[in-house]
Every structure is written in C-alpha cells, then in structure tokens.
Chain A
Amino acid sequence: MYACWMIFSLFGLVVVDRTITSSMSMKLILPDQAHVFRIFFLLLQIVINILMRNHILMLVMGQFFCFFLPDLIAVIVQRQRESLFQENLISMLDSWIITMRSGKSLRQAQLFYLEKTKKPIQYILKEYNIAIQYQQNVVNLSQNRQIQIFFRELEQIEKQSHKSVERLKALRRKLMMEKFFRQKSRQATLQVKSQSLIISFMYVGLLLYVHFTFGLLRYQLLVMFSFVLFVFGLVCVQRMGRYYKWKI
C-alpha cells in the first residue's frame, strides 16, 4: 500500500511537469509564467499526495484527469481561435485589400494586419506563414473546412503574384455570399431549435413534478409512452428544420 502510494505520488509529480510543459508548448501559458506555475503546482501536488494517502484510487483518477487536461483544453482553445478567425475572415481581407491599394505588397499587408489584430488570430496566421515558408501543406493547419479552403486559396494567390487584389476581392465576394446564406439558413433553423429547447425544458420540469408528486415508478407505462411520444415529436421537428430539398 505504501509502495503504491509512493509510485503514484511520483507519477503525480511527473504529471504536473508534463501538464505545464504541454500548456507551454500549446501557448496556453507564457514561458515565464510556466516557472511559477511549475513550483506552485508541484508543492500543491505534494500536499494532495500526503492528504490522499488513504484514497489511492481517487488520487490516481485525479492524476489521469490532469494528464489529459491540457489536450482537452487545447482542443477547446483551438476551436475558439478558429471560430474567431472564421468570423474575421472578411474584415481581414478588407484590411489587406485596402493596404494593397495603398501600394503595399500582399506580404506587407499581412504583416501589417498581424501586428494590429487579436492574439488568437495572430497565432493562426503565424502558423500559416510558417507553413508557407517551409512549404508545408496549409490545408492540414486546421480541421475547419472554411479555413482550409481560405488557406488553400491564399496560398495560390501568393504563389501567382499577378492580379492579387482582384483575386482577393473575388475571394472576399465568395466568402460574403456564403456567409449571407449561412446566416439566412440559420435563422430558419434557429426558431425551430429554440422552440424545441423550451419545450424540452418544460417537459423535463413536468416529469420532475410528476415524480415528486406521484412517483414515476407507479406510472411507468404512462411515463414511458409519454416520453416516446415526446421524443418522436422532437425528432420530427428537428428533421423538419434540418433537412430541406432545394427547389432551384
């Protein structure tokens, strides 16, 4: 038992170091912050190890959770960065076109924009620039379809340097049209989704009321039939909103 605790305690210290190093490599924390975090969390881990010496299972579960935590946070942070990048695509192209109209090259326009923009967008643009410099595949930089298409088109515009402004304008036009129709389509489905959500909350509330007033176990068949009917109605509403066959 004591040997198990010692082994898992040491593992816990390794997990702390690995978590801090991963967070630093994923740019979740700065290098000078990493040193402070490392000392703080190592001491915290030692205290937790001592306090949890009689609950080894919980200690191990907590350590495994901390082991995978940076990857989980990195996925969430990357998705948020990509979402922000996607929202700013059109304004980014506007900025580049205006800068190029004033006589600067595309590269200069990109660097000028990079200095002024928000940090999450900077990270993604820097990754793109590095991929271009080392001639890597820019499509692999993101899982987001629109960003992949954007990077692919941008790479082609950079490779063939003639008529860059016109091509950027054409790309902006294409993105604006897609955004317009995506917003219109979402408006159609948003109403249905919000209606479904409110109805579902009301149903769950009613279910809880029936449980606390009458007890669900006494009326199992009734509740089951009601639940199946409700879920079927919900599925029908969702399908109605999502699946549409275009007439044109």
Chain B
Amino acid sequence: MENIAPPLELIIEVRFGLEKGQALKKTLQNYAEDCFSTDKESLGWRQFVQKWLRYLELGQSTIEIKNKLNPVRQQIIDVLEMGLRGESIYPQVCALEDELFEATKLEIEEHTSVLAIKSLIPLLMFQFPAFLMLLLGPFVAQFLDLNS
C-alpha cells in the first residue's frame, strides 16, 4: 500500500505533463510505458491505459473496456479522451486531482483505522494459540505424564 492510488498517479502525471508543456498523448504514452513502478495494481492500470491508447489509435470503440472500470476511473478516461480530441482539459484535470486527493486521503484514513482491528484476527486465531501452546503445552504434558 506504499504507493499512490493508480488513478491519482495518472492525474498527477497528466497535470505535470500539461504544466511543462508536453503533449497529452506523449504524457499518457510515457506513463503507460514507464517501467519504474513495481506495484501490481499500478502496473495493471498502466497496461489498461496502454490498451486504451491502442484502441484509440486504431479507431476502435473504447466503451467496452471502459465499462469494466469503476465510475471514478471511467470519468478520468472520459476527460482524457476529451483532451486527446483537442479540447482543453486543464481545469477539469485540476478539479479531478483535488477530488481524487481528498478521496484517496479519506480511503487511507479509513484503511488505517480498520487495519488495527483487522490485524487482531490473525493475532487471536493463530499467534495467541501458538503462545498458549508453547506456554502451557509442556506443563500439561508433564501433568498427563504424572497421572499416567
């Protein structure tokens, strides 16, 4: 979980690309081909972006592949498609980035609060019995030996 959410990562890259004057298509291609990321989810998302760009280049419909995404990611792809058609999308990208920033922050905070409780499950189901086994096991074994 030590990476940014993939959609936010894409929007940050797009905004950075637009601010440094790079063409949107070049920014998206660089993002999709970037081999720096090691996160599985990020790699999956980049592969999707690569596939989507290929569909657009070939003039194929992207509706099918977009329908597999959640509403947030669909919205991002729709805005980027507008940009690739030549429309100005900088204000939309900035607004999306702010929204995604807040949403990601909220998600991480929720995850942090729930993780502490979730981590109790393996602790109580596996580690605590392991402790008890090691602590009481020899005593019980000796007690049984004495009785027999």
Residues of A within 8 A of B (CB): 145, 148-149, 156-157, 160, 162-163, 166-167, 170-171, 173-174, 177-178, 181-182, 184-189, 191-192, 195, 199, 202-203, 206-207, 210, 213-214, 218-219, 222-223, 225-227, 229-230, 232-234, 236-237, 240-248
Contacts and interface: CB of A to CB of B under 8 A. Distances in A.
Contacts of A234: 122, 127
Contacts of B125: 233
Main secondary structure of the interface of B (DSSP, over half): helix
Contacts of A236: 121-122, 126
Given A163-B21, A181-B4, A189-B1, A226 B16 contact: no
B112 A246 contact: no
B133 A222 contact: yes
A14 B122 CA distance: 55
B19 interface: yes
Given A149-B36, A188-B112, A203 B131 contact: yes
A199 B120 CA distance: 12
A206 B3 contact: no
B78 interface: no
Contacts of A162: 21
Contacts of A244: 1, 111
Nearest to B38: A145
A210 B136 CA distance: 10
B105 A184 contact: yes
Contacts of B82: none
B115 interface: yes
A233 B142 CA distance: 27
Contacts of A145: 36
B89 interface: no
B107 A246 contact: yes
Contact of B2 (A177, A186, A245): A186
Contact of A233 (B1, B100, B122, B135): B122
Interface string B88-130: 0000000000001101110111011001101101110111011
Which size class do B's interface residues fall under? Answer: 35 or more
A192 B134 contact: no
A188 B119 CA distance: 11
A187 B112 contact: yes
B111 A188 contact: yes
A236 B118 CA distance: 10
Contacts of A160: 21
B20 interface: yes
Given A185-B1, A206-B134, A233-B122, A248 B127 contact: no
B20 A247 contact: no
Contact of A240 (B72, B115, B129, B133): B115
A189 B116 CA distance: 10
Across the A-B interface, give the 8 residue pairs with the lowest CB-CB distance, nearest first.
A233-B126, A236-B122, A230-B130, A233-B127, A170-B19, A244-B1, A229-B130, A188-B112
Given A170-B19, A246-B5, A226 B123 contact: no
Given A181-B108, A188-B112, 15 more contacts: A157-B20, A162-B21, A167-B20, A170-B16, A174-B13, A174-B16, A178-B4, A188-B115, A189-B1, A210-B138, A219-B138, A223-B134, A234-B122, A236-B121, A248-B73
Contacts of B116: 191-192
A189 B105 CA distance: 15
Contacts of A188: 1, 108, 111-112, 115
Contacts of A241: 1, 115, 119
Contacts of B70: 247-248
A245 B21 CA distance: 33
